[in-house]
Structures are given as structure tokens and as C-alpha cells.
Amino acid sequence: MRKVTSVLLAFVLCTALLCIGAAAADSGAAGKFAGGDGSETTPYQIATAEQLKAVEKNPGAHYVLIADIDLEGSADDPWNPIGKFTGTFDGNGHTISGLYMNANSPGPADQGLGLFSYLGSGG
């Protein structure tokens, strides 16, 4: 009986840890943004350059700017384009300034230059 109780307790603890890990992984993307869940009705909210760069981790989600962003780009620190973007991006009347790029930026030779290197279908 004691062995069955131990196995059952171990199972319950493992299940609880898996649930906690899944919740933490799910909140990971949301934690990079000012708000939202990336859906069409509640897009991720972008207020900083760091949050803008995080778009590359989920290029198929929905995004909205909630503040003007200055990327403060220079030849020493050029912007590397976000890859193929297939989500939606609502500027919401805000601006992104200081976007400096050059053709020698790291990345594939055929990579496009811009905020996004390519816009996919739906983007």
C-alpha cells in the first residue's frame, strides 16, 4: 500500500510540475511585450525597441504599436530585419525612427532590407 501511495504521489507531483512549466512557457512570449496575447482581437502591444525585435520570435502573430520607437541605429549598430512576416502589424499612428541598415548587415545574401525582410501571405 505504501508503494502505491508513493507512486501516486510522484505522479501527482510530476503532473503539477508539467502544468507549471507549460504555463511558464505560454507566458514567455507575452512577457516580452507590453500586453496582449498575439491574437487578432488582442494583439501583442509594442512599446520598446526590444519588444519590436521580439516580433521575430513569432512572425505570424498580430501586433500593435502603443508608443513611438527610436531604434537609434548607426553603422556600428544596424537593424537586422525581422524575417518573413506573415502576421499583422498596426502602427496605430505611431512612428519607428532611427532604422539604419546597410547591405553588409549579417544575414543571408538574399535577405531583403527593411523593418521586415519579407512579407508573406497575410502579412
Torsion angle, alpha carbons of 56, 58, 48, 64, to 10: 120
Is 37 in the same domain as 27? no
Is 19 in the same domain as 60? no
Total structural domains within the chain: 2
Residues 46-94: pLDDT tens digits? 999 999 999 999 999 999 999 999 998 887 888 888 888 999 999 999 9
Task: Give the range of the structural domain holding residue 27, as residue numbers without chain letter.
Answer: 1-31
CA-wise closest residue to 121 among 82, 83, 85:
85
Is 82 in the same domain as 40? yes
Is 63 in the same domain as 15? no
Is 72 in the same domain as 27? no
> What does the alpha-carbon distance between residue 115 and residue 4 come to, in Å, rounded to a whole number?
58
Residues 99-118: pLDDT tens digits? 888 766 555 555 677 888 88
Is 94 in the same domain as 105? yes
Torsion angle, alpha carbons of 44, 48, 51, 52, to 10: 90
> What does the alpha-carbon distance between residue 56 and residue 76 come to, in Å, rounded to a whole number?
21
Is 55 in the same domain as 94? yes
* Whole-model pTM over 0.85: no
With beta carbons less than 8 A apart as the criterion, state whether 88 and 62 touch.
Answer: yes
